[in-house]
Amino acid sequence: MSRVMSKKAVVKRLMEDWGGRFSAELGIELESHHSEEIFKWFLASILFGTRIGQHVAMQTYREFVKRGVLTPDGILKTGWDGLVEILDAGGYVRYDYRTATKLLDIAEMLNKRYDGDLNQLHEEATDPRDLESKLMEFKGVGPVTANIFLRELREIWEKADPLPGDLVITAAQNLGFTTLGGKNDEERKKILLDLERVWEREDLPYHFSDFEAALVKFGTEQRRKKHK
């Protein structure tokens, strides 16, 4: 993508080439605010949060859809062996045992602490950073998974306001949207402001979270080429 293009043209081309939110691509309706849809995205985010290809994560999520295992109760009822089977069918082979255990632990804690409702977790959080901390209380949910999950909830949950992740920063630098490297939280806050200014100024018919998702996809491709 050429740097001589106007920023509006660059953003427009980015969206055309890479598309928007992963959740929308997976048929998850986050705008509904329904607990069931929020949990579906949490499940998908957990799959994305491991060092595995985006295609494999999406394919594996679709296996959960195919088998109707899309709620905390559904995960608990399926059990460890059943979850491993679903994960393997989706190609999630390297992390199948570990992820099956993680999903069972998360479903059990979510039911016990928040009545199976992530919207309740959001309500109990005092601010964006507390929201991230509460998510990371789930065993196996670290900063990467929390960031993936909250990024696409930015305009849906009031307290969802994650800082840009490494892939977003890589893409933003490459496209000339920021000159900062994101070496600390203060720089990442400034990068987020840079991106929000670009988005507001260009006034394109997408959500900001669509823009972020496109940056993630582009950043993934840039990283792949670098390590090829």
| DSSP codes, 202-220 | HT-SS-HHHHHHHHHHHHH
Look up the domain containing 115 and give its range.
23-151
**Is 2 part of a structural domain of the chain?**
no
Which of 104, 121, 151 finishes a domain? 151
Q: What is the mean pLDDT of residues 82-93?
A: 97
The domain that contains 88 carries what CATH number? 1.10.340.30
Q: Can you give the pLDDT at residue 5?
A: 66
34-38, 101-105, 184-188, 198-202: segment of lowest average pLDDT: 198-202
Please indicate, yes or no, whether residues 146 and 190 belong to a single structural domain of this protein. no
pLDDT over 90 (residue 6): no
Please indicate, yes or no, whether residues 59 and 130 belong to a single structural domain of this protein. yes
| DSSP codes, 104-124 | HHHHHHHHHHHTT-HHHHHHH
Q: Can you give the pLDDT at residue 205?
A: 78
Do residues 54 and 223 make contact, with C-beta atoms less than 8 angstroms apart? no
Please indicate, yes or no, whether residues 121 and 184 belong to a single structural domain of this protein. no
Q: Give the model confidence (pLDDT) of 25-84 as tens digits.
A: 999 999 999 999 999 999 999 999 998 889 999 999 999 999 999 999 999 999 999 999
Of the candidates 225, 175, 197, the one whose C-alpha atom is nearest the C-alpha of residue 4 is 175
Residue 222, class by beta-carbon neighbours within 10 Å (0-12 exposed, 13-18 middle, 19+ buried)?
middle
How many of the other CB atoms lie within 10 Å of CB of 217?
A: 19
**Is 197 part of a structural domain of the chain?**
yes
Measured over the CA atoms of residue 121, residue 123, residue 128 and residue 133, the dihedral's sign is: negative
pTM of the model: 0.93
Do residues 215 and 24 make contact, with C-beta atoms less than 8 angstroms apart? no
Please indicate, yes or no, whether residues 86 and 143 belong to a single structural domain of this protein. yes
Neighbouring residues of 180: CB distance < 8 A, sequence distance ≥ 6: 169, 173, 187, 190, 191, 194
Average pLDDT for the chain? 93
Of the candidates 91, 18, 24, 23, the one whose C-alpha atom is nearest the C-alpha of residue 53 is 91
The 3-state DSSP class for residue 91 equals coil
Question: Which helix (H) or strand (E) is 78 found in, with range?
Answer: helix 72-89
Q: What is the mean pLDDT of residues 159-179?
A: 94
CA quadruple 48, 51, 57, 61: dihedral, nearest 10: -60
Which of 151, 181, 201 finishes a domain? 151
- What the block records as the tokens of 4 is 């001589």
Measured between alpha carbons, how far is 78 from 80 in angstroms, rounded to an integer?
7
Please indicate, yes or no, whether residues 11 and 42 belong to a single structural domain of this protein. no
Please indicate, yes or no, whether residues 60 and 103 belong to a single structural domain of this protein. yes
**Is 117 part of a structural domain of the chain?**
yes
Rg (CA), the chain: 18
Number of domains in the chain: 2
Of the candidates 59, 153, 74, 60, the one whose C-alpha atom is nearest the C-alpha of residue 110 is 74
142 vs 223: which has the higher pLDDT: 142
Measured over the CA atoms of residue 62, residue 67, residue 71 and residue 77, the dihedral's sign is: negative
